[in-house]
Amino acid sequence: MPGKRLQGIFTPNMVPLDGRGRIHEEELRRLVEWLIEKGVTGIYPNGSTGEFTRFSFEERKEIVRIVADQARGRVPILAGAAEANIDMVLEACRYYADLGCTAAAICGPYYYKLSEASVEEYFAELARRSPLDIVLYNIPQFSNEISIPTVVRLCDFPRIVGIKDSSRDMPRFLNLMNQVQPRRPDFSCLIGTEEMLMPALIMGADGGTIASSGVVPEVVMKLYRLTLEGRWEEARKIQFGLLDLINAMLFDIEFPEGFRVGVSLRGFQMGQSRQKLSPRSQCDVERVRHHIHCLLSEHGVVEEPPEGCALPGRPQPSGITEEQVRAIVQAVVAKLRQEGRV
């Protein structure tokens, strides 16, 4: 039977990789432990920030196994189960249920465009067969949208216990809550866009899956607590203060490289993504690293970089040539090889 209502901040954790691009289990366990110690409400493995598409099905199951084993029931686990077909989704749900996970987050079918009726039937079939509670994951940028009328009908299934909305559409989220909550008061509405966390909480959201909570968990949790306590002026300052950091990590370089930089600056060995970056993109990572470092220092979670943070605001375009980019990349790679990281 469905468990208790999902509330709070769930962290879509990144996955550290070793020098050969494999899951770095020891570092992943250390990251999970750190997040729990910093007070996040729950962990959300296999989310977008966790690069779930870049791992195999067996690796995704292994990631959840490690996270759940390290958490040992201290926080709820919302396990991403966005697989390519319904049988694999159900296999994942059964496995995650055996691990003691709280619920599975499942987006609409992706790649092929489906009708609203087919999306509804997909989730209805999952609700009838899954041994684990389901949180709908609406991310229309990458999968079939789960429309508000569809969510309203699906909330009649007890196994479907909530929704994570990453549409970046605040009016849609408010209309969703307005239509679903009177019909199903225990249905959890989680925002997946951190720029809207405080407004969503004020309007009655249950919490969110917040990527920046994997980098500055103490700051995001403080924002969450202050908002719930009605200390809105203090919360407002933190919400606005997070915007520069969020924008730098999310938009200044290819996603989710900014978050990898952020987590590494908090002291974790994240390794390199399995997605190879162009020389220009690698140069951008190095350029933005200093900016993110300065923003983290402004939040008081790391020391200011040795070279200082004299220039306020976003980093300026480098304006360097492709030859200079290649030279910088070669120097960076040589240093990484010297350190045994590649």
Domains defined for the chain, CATH in brackets: 8-254 (3.20.20.70)
CA angle (332, 312, 232) in 5-degree steps: 115
The residue annotated as part of the active site, out of 44, 96, 122, 164, is 164
Question: Quick one: which of 274, 273, 311, 318 has its CA closest to 293?
Answer: 311
* pLDDT reported for residue 129: 98
Q: How would residue 284 be classed by pLDDT, with cut points 50, 70 and 90?
A: confident
Query: Does the N-terminal peptide bond of residue 256 adopt cis geometry, omega within 30 degrees of 0?
Result: yes
* pLDDT reported for residue 30: 98
The yes-or-no verdict on residue 261 having pLDDT over 90 is yes
Residues 30, 333: Cα–Cα separation, whole Å: 26
Let me know: does 207 contact 6? Beta carbons within 8 Å: yes
* pLDDT reported for residue 282: 83
In which residue are the tokens 């969110």 written? 208
% of the chain with per-residue pLDDT over 70: 89
Q: How would residue 62 be classed by pLDDT, with cut points 50, 70 and 90?
A: very high
The yes-or-no verdict on residue 324 having pLDDT over 60 is no
Residue pLDDT, tens place only, 217-258? 999 999 999 999 999 999 999 999 999 999 999 998 899 999
Task: State whether the Cα torsion 257-242-299-312 is positive or negative.
Answer: positive
For the chain, helix, strand, coil in percent to 5 are 50, 10, 40
* pLDDT reported for residue 317: 41
Task: State whether the Cα torsion 280-285-286-288 is positive or negative.
Answer: positive
Q: What is the DSSP string of 319-334?
A: ---HHHHHHHHHHHHH
| SS3 call for 231 | coil
Residues 27, 295: Cα–Cα separation, whole Å: 24
The residue annotated as part of the active site, out of 113, 137, 222, 224, is 137
The yes-or-no verdict on residue 318 having pLDDT over 70 is no
Q: Is 137 among the residues known to form the active site?
A: yes
Mean pLDDT score of the chain:
92
Q: Is 44 among the residues known to form the active site?
A: no
CA angle (30, 34, 40) in 5-degree steps: 135
The yes-or-no verdict on residue 312 having pLDDT over 50 is no
* pLDDT reported for residue 2: 47
